Structure 1
Amino acid sequence: MRNVKQIYLLVMFSILYLTILLTTSCGVTGFYIKEGYELYSNSVDESKVSKRILLIGDAGEPSLDQREPVLKYLEMIASRKPDSTTIIFLGDNIYPSGLPDKSNPDYSVYKNRLIEQVKVIQNSDATGIFIPGNHDWAKGKSIGYLNILRQENLIESFDDLKIEFLPDSGCPGPSVVDFSDDIRLVIIDSQWFFNDKSNKKSCRESEEQILLAEIKESIDSFNGKHLIIAAHHPLKSYGPHGGFFNWQAHLFPLTELSDYLWIPLPVIGSLYPLVRNLGVSDQDLSSGTYQNYIKKLESVIDDYSGVVVASGHEHTLQILKAPNENLYLVSGFGTSAHRNPVTKNESTILAAYQPGFIGLDFLSNGQVILNVYSVDDDQKLNKIFSYFATNLVTFKKHSN
C-alpha cells in the first residue's frame, strides 16, 4: 500500500512538473506580431518625418570584442534624420552598479560603457536624453545617489553635444520636454519609488503624493496630440520581471549566472522562478514595492487614453495595449548579450526575443508610424514591425 501511494505521488508530481515545463515552453522565439498589426512597409519617405523618437534601454554593457551591433544600427537610423531625431536611453546605462568614483580600479571600464552610448549621439548628430535605471542607482544601495550624480556630470561634460541627463540631481522629476506643440515627453526617475529614504535626498518632490500631483499636472496642462511618459520600470511586462521563465530557467538555472553553465538541475531549478514570482526582488512586478509603483502611476494615467508609456528594465522588446487604451512600449534589449525570455497574452501586439530598439515617426501629415528594429543572429538589422499607429497614440483626456 505504501508503494502504491509513493508511485501515485510520483506520478502526480511528474504531471505537475511536466505541466510547468509545457507552460513555460510557450515563450516567443524570434518575434510575435498580433494578427491585424502586420508589417505594412519596409521604407518611409524621410522627408515626411517631422520628428523621430528612438527608444533604447539597458544598453549599459555593450559587446567587448566588437562594437555593440544594436548601438551601431541605432546610430545608423538616427543619422538618417539627425536634426529631427531624439534618442531616449531608458536607463541601466552602466552595468552593474552605475558610475563609481575615479578611485575605483575599474572606473574606466564603467565609464566606457556609457561612452559607447554617447558615441551614438556624437556620430549621428542627433539629440540624446539619458534617464536612470535601477543599475545606475547601484540597485538601490546608498552609494547609488553619488553614482547617479557622477553619471549626470559625465554626460553633461559633453557640452558640444545635444545631450542631457533627466531628471537631474537625483530627483524623481517629472522633467517635461516639449518637442512641439503636439508632442510632449514626461520623464520620471522610477527608481526613486523603489529607493529607501537614505537615497531620497532633499528634492522638491520629496513626497510621493506631491510627485504624483506634479506628474498629473504635466499631463493635464498638455493640449497637444501625443504624450509620452518615459520611465525605466515598465507598468506591464511578460518577461522574467513580469513572472515568465522559459524551460531553460527551470532545467538549467545556472545559465542565469553564465552562458556556459549548462548543468541540468530539474526540480531544483524551478525553485528560482518560484521564488522570483513570490516577489522577493523588489525589481519584479510581483513585489509589493513594484505593485505600489504600478498602482500609483496607473492611478494618474487611467484618467487619459492614448498615452505612450516607454520603459526598459526587461531585456525584451514588447508593445502592449492596456485596457485603459494606453500603449506600453518595453524597449530594454539594448545589449545583445542580455537575452530574456518573453511570452505574450491578449494585450500583446508585439513581443520579440531579439535585441533592438523601438521608434516613433511623427509625419508632417499628422500620421504616426510605430517601428521595431531588431538585430538577428547574423547581426543584420531588420525592421520587424512598422504600423500606422496614429489612433493608438492620440492623446485624449477623459471627461469628468
Structure 2
Amino acid sequence: MTIDYFFYALLVLAGLLTLWLARRYMQERNYRRRPYVAPTAHNWASQPQPSRPPYHRVALLGDVGALTTDGSDPVLQLLEQWQQEAGPDGTVVLLGDNIYPVGLPAPYASGRAAAEARFNALLAALGRFEGRVVMLSGNHDWNKGRSDGWEYLRRQEAYVREHLPTAHYLPVDGAPGPISLQLAEGLLLIVLNTQWWVQNGPRPAADAWRPFRQLRALLQANRHQQVLVAGHHPLYSNALHGGKFTAKQHVFPLTTVNKRAYVPLPFIGSLLPLYRKTVGAAEDMAHPRYRRMRRRLLRVLHEFPGVIYAAGHDHNLQYFERCGGHYLVSGAGSKTAFVQAGGQATFVHEHQGFFGLDFYGPHETWLRTYEPPTGTPEVFRLQLSPGSSTAPEPAAGATDAAEVPRP
C-alpha cells in the first residue's frame, strides 16, 4: 500500500508540474520578445521631451563580444550612428564580456584568431568616435571566471592599450575599484570591477570590504553631482542570472548552457533551474559570493537616491527603480536571452540593443532605448527621477578613492 501511495503521489506531482509548465509556456508566448512596460510608466510616449540638446550623452553597451566582423553587425551600426550624433560630448561605456567565449586567448592558442577579429571590429568602430571610451571587464573576459582568468584579463587590457590607447580600461589590472572619471561638469562616472568578488584563482590583492567604504565616501563627496556607477553584474534582474527560466528550460535544461542542446529531461530537468535559483552557479545572484557582493553594494547605493547603476551580464534590456535609485541591465550587445515580464521591473525587452542616458542638467536625465534595425521607433524612454538627497559641494580631498584624470 505504501508503494501505491508513493506512486500515486508522484503521478499527482508530475501532473501538477505539467500543468504549471503548460501555463507558464502559454504566458511566455504572450510576452516573449515584446517590450514590457509597467503600468506606472504606460504614458512614457506622451512625456514632453526637452527642446534643447543634452550637455552630455552616454551609451551603455554590454556583452558585445559575439558581434559579427563583416561590417553588417546591427548593434555596431546603431552604435556608430549614436557616436556620430553624440560627437565629442559623448561617452561609450562597455559593460564587460567584450570578447566571447573566454576573453582573449594567448597568441597562437585555439580561438585567438576569432577573438582578435571580433575585438578588432569593435575597437575599429570605437576608434572612429570623437568622444570618450570606457571599458570594463566581465566574467567571460576572465576566461569565464576560471582560475587563470586574471591572465586573460591582463592580456585583454594590454591589447586595448596597444590598439586603442585613448580608451580607459578600468579598473586597471583587474583591481576591484572604485575608480572615478569626470565625464562633464556635474557628471561623474564610477567604475567597479564586480568580477573581482566572484572570481576564482589569483586576482589583485585587496580588502573585500574596503571598496564599499570607498564607494560610500565617494558618493557622499559627490552628492552635488549626477553619479553613474558601472559594473558588469546586475543588482536586479528578471533573467537567467536572477533565477528566471523559461518553461522550455525546465524540459530541456541543457539549453541554458547550449541553445542547441535539446535533450529532453522532463521533471528531472526542473532541478537545474531550482538549483540555480536557490544555490546558484558562480555567476548567478543566488551564489554566496555574488549574493554577498550584491547585498553590500545595495546597502551603499540605497543611501544615495538618484544614483544610476548600469550593468550587463544578462542578455536583454531591463530597467528598475528601487529605493530612489535607477538600475539598468544593458547586456544585449550581441546576444539575447529570456527575460520575464513584470515583477519589480519598469521595463524589460528581449531584444538586441543598448541603453543611452542623456544628461540635460543636475535634475534632468533621460533614459533611452536603442534597438536595431537603425531608424526603428523607440520602444521606451523615461525621464529619471533625481532622488531627494542633496548636499553642498564638499571640500577637495573628501575621499581616498582613485580618480582617473580627465584627458
Shift of 1:127: 2.0
Shift of 1:185: 0.8
In structure 1, what is the equivalent of residue 198 of structure 2?
A: 194
Equivalent residue letter for 2:108:
S
Distance 2:248 2:124 in 1: 35
Contact 1:181 1:224 in 2 (8 A): no
Alignment pair present for 1:152 and 2:157: yes
- Which whole-Å deviations, capped at 9, do the CAs of 1:234-277 have from their partners, x for residues lacking one? 11111011011011212233433444444543223323212222
Distance 1:36 1:280 in 2: 32
Contact 1:228 1:307 in 2 (8 A): yes
Distance 1:12 1:210 in 2: 48
Shift of 1:49: 1.7
SS of equivalent residue, structure 1 residue 82:
helix
Mark the CA change 1:252 to 1:153 in structure 2 (over 3 Å): closer, same or farther: same
Residue ranges of structure 1 left out of the alignment (5+ in a row): none
Alignment pair present for 1:31 and 2:35: yes
Distance 2:178 2:330 in 1: 20
Of the structure 1 ranges 229-238 and 298-307, higher mean CA displacement relative to structure 2 is found in 298-307
SS of equivalent residue, structure 1 residue 284:
coil
Contact 1:369 1:387 in 2 (8 A): yes
In structure 1, what is the equivalent of residue 398 of structure 2?
A: none
Distance 1:382 1:190 in 2: 33
Mark the CA change 1:381 to 1:165 in structure 2 (over 3 Å): closer, same or farther: farther
Equivalent residue letter for 1:154:
Y
Aligned identity (percent) is 27
In structure 1, what is the equivalent of residue 380 of structure 2?
A: 385
Shift of 1:115: 1.9
Alignment pair present for 1:371 and 2:368: yes
Q: How does 1:1-400 map to 2 (within 5 A)?
A: 6-7=7-8, 9-23=10-24, 26-27=27-28, 28-29=31-32, 30-37=34-41, 38-40=43-45, 48-63=53-68, 67-158=72-163, 162-196=166-200, 198-202=201-205, 206-322=206-322, 324-335=323-334, 338-363=335-360, 367-375=364-372, 381-389=376-384, 391=385, 393-394=386-387, 396=389
Mark the CA change 1:18 to 1:380 in structure 2 (over 3 Å): closer, same or farther: farther
Distance 1:101 1:12 in 2: 51
Query: CA RMSD, aligned part only?
Result: 2.7
Residue ranges of structure 2 left out of the alignment (5+ in a row): 393-407
Shift of 1:367: 2.5
Shift of 1:36: 3.8
Mark the CA change 1:106 to 1:9 in structure 2 (over 3 Å): closer, same or farther: closer
Distance 2:195 2:273 in 1: 23
Contact 2:68 2:118 in 1 (8 A): no
Contact 2:17 2:267 in 1 (8 A): no
Distance 2:100 2:27 in 1: 30
Shift of 1:46: 8.8
Mark the CA change 1:262 to 1:103 in structure 2 (over 3 Å): closer, same or farther: closer
Mark the CA change 1:143 to 1:382 in structure 2 (over 3 Å): closer, same or farther: farther
Mark the CA change 1:381 to 1:71 in structure 2 (over 3 Å): closer, same or farther: farther
Distance 1:194 1:5 in 2: 42
Of the structure 1 ranges 180-189 and 57-66, higher mean CA displacement relative to structure 2 is found in 57-66
SS of equivalent residue, structure 1 residue 138:
helix
SS of equivalent residue, structure 1 residue 179:
strand
Mark the CA change 1:103 to 1:260 in structure 2 (over 3 Å): closer, same or farther: closer
Mark the CA change 1:396 to 1:21 in structure 2 (over 3 Å): closer, same or farther: farther
Distance 2:210 2:261 in 1: 47
SS of equivalent residue, structure 2 residue 105:
coil
Distance 1:326 1:115 in 2: 35
Distance 1:397 1:45 in 2: 23
Equivalent residue letter for 1:358:
F
SS of equivalent residue, structure 2 residue 209:
helix
Shift of 1:3: 5.7
Equivalent residue letter for 1:288:
P
SS of equivalent residue, structure 1 residue 169:
helix
